[in-house]
Amino acid sequence: MATRSKSSQRWLKEHFSDPFVKKAQAEGLRSRAAYKLEELVERDRLLKPGMVVVDLGAAPGGWSQWVRAELDRLSHGGAQDPGRVIALDILEMPTLAGVEFLHGDFREDAVLSALEDSLGGKPVDLVLSDMAPNKSGVDAVDQPRAMHLAELAMDFADGHLKPGGTFLIKLFQGVGFDEYVRQLRRRYAKVVIRKPAASRKRSPEVYALAQGKLAGRPVTDG
Helix axes 33-44, 62-74, angle to 10 degrees: 40
Q: Give yes or no: 213 in active site.
A: no
Q: H or E segment at 62?
A: helix 62-74
Distance CA 156, CA 158 (A): 5
Of 48, 170, 190, 195, the catalytic one is 170
Sequence-distant (6+) residues with CB within 8 A of 206 are: 170, 171, 172, 173, 193, 194, 195, 199
CA distances from 56 to 71, 81, 132, 136 (A): 18, 23, 10, 21
Annotated binding residue at 61? yes
CA distances from 69 to 10, 28, 79 (A): 34, 12, 14
Annotated binding residue at 81? no
Annotated binding residue at 63? yes
- Residue 134, φ and ψ in degrees, nearest 5: -65, 130
Annotated binding residue at 44? no
In 3D, which of 105, 112, 155, 128 has the Cα closest to residue 51?
128
Query: Cα–Cα–Cα angle for 193, 222, 107, nearest 5°?
Result: 60
Q: Which amino acid is at 168?
A: L
- The annotated binding site for S-adenosyl-L-methionine is made up of 61, 63, 89, 105, 130
Residues annotated as catalytic are 170
- The annotated binding site is made up of 61, 63, 89, 105, 130
